[in-house]
Amino acid sequence: MNDDRKGRGKELAAAVLKYVILISWALTTIIPLLWVFVNSFKTSEEIVKNGVALPSAIQFNNYKTIMSYPDLSMSRAFLNSFIISGSVVVGVVLVAGLAAFALGRFRFQWTRYADAVLIACLLVPSFATMIPNFVTISKLPIRGTHAAAIIPQIAGNLCFSITLLTGFMRSLPDELDEAAIMDGATPIYVFSRITMPLSKPMFSTVGIMVFIWSYNDLLTSMVYLSQRSKQPVCVILSMVSNMFGTDYGSMMAAIIVTIVPLLILYVISQEQVIKGLTAGAVKG
């Protein structure tokens, strides 16, 4: 009887400790977001005077300021972000999916070396290839277009995506492919009709993570896109910070406007992300 009580007490203590850690971790993200949201309705004077107090009156002047600035089009910036990030997701999912299918479903002598190369590439910082990429792209017709930012981002996200998808695809039963091939199916048919549907949770996870990384990639867009009409919303946000120097209210409003699409995307897709990550953890 005493052993049962001790066991239950340990389980309860472990559960309490787990939730305390999770809640504390969540608060480190939620509290800054709430602080930015509340301050987006305050003037700069109010923020400087007392940044943690509630606004004396709800006013939307900060949002009107960033939306009406003559040289900054937030709607165009959002469109550019969706064009760039959406194209990056499509390119990464397609190329990484095919590469992962070859590495994960076929056995070659050089497979382990390819895995080692992919892991090694993950250790290379993105800015290390920035200069050679810039020199190369500046000599191509895509200079100054959305493609100038899309192609480097696709290349930069491939190693991680291939590694993640390869591990998941290797966990799938080989009998599925063998049965399809014996029936005369081609590798492309096996990939599109068998492997890809079974790997849908992981493809969704990769796509969502790549979209978020691309959406927040400020450095790549600033380097490769010099025309303001082609720049995404993350670059426009940095410009607002520069233009309005000490206008903290406008900065807060710009941050809220920028992160709203990501919050909506996460709320809609969080189930797919969790499903893909847990499936990969269990099967891989």
d(CA 279, CA 284) in angstroms, rounded, equals: 8
Domain boundaries, the chain: 1-62, 67-280
Question: What pLDDT does residue 32 have?
Answer: 86
CATH class of the region 67-280: mainly alpha
pLDDT 10s digit of each residue in the chain, 284 long? 555 666 677 778 888 888 888 888 888 888 888 888 888 888 888 888 887 788 877 888 888 877 776 667 778 888 999 999 999 999 999 999 999 998 888 877 788 888 888 888 888 887 788 888 888 988 889 888 899 999 999 998 999 999 989 988 888 888 888 888 888 888 888 888 888 888 888 898 899 889 989 998 888 888 888 888 888 888 877 776 655 556 788 888 888 888 888 888 878 877 766 666 665 544 44
Question: What pLDDT does residue 125 have?
Answer: 82
0.85 exceeded by pTM: no
Question: What pLDDT does residue 2 have?
Answer: 57
Question: What pLDDT does residue 84 have?
Answer: 94
Q: Which of 46, 63, 64 is nearest to 55 (CA)?
A: 46
Q: What is the pLDDT of residues 44-90, one digit of tens each?
A: 888 888 877 888 778 888 888 777 766 677 788 889 999 999 999 99
* Rounded percentage of the chain residues whose pLDDT exceeds 90: 15
In order, the DSSP letters of the chain are -HHHHHHHHHHHHHHHHHHHHHHHHHHHHHHHHHHHHHHTTS-HHHHHH-TTSPPSS---HHHHHHHH-TT--HHHHHHHHHHHHHHHHHHHHHHHHHHHHHHHHS--TTHHHHHHHHHHHHTS-GGGGHHHHHHHHHTSTTTTSHHHHHHHHHHHHHHHHHHHHHHHHHTS-HHHHHHHHHTT--HHHHIIIIIHHHTHHHHHHHHHHHHHHHHT-HHHHHHH--SGGG--HHHHHHHHHHHTTT-HHHHHHHHHHHHHHHHHHHHHHHHHHHHHHHHHHHH-
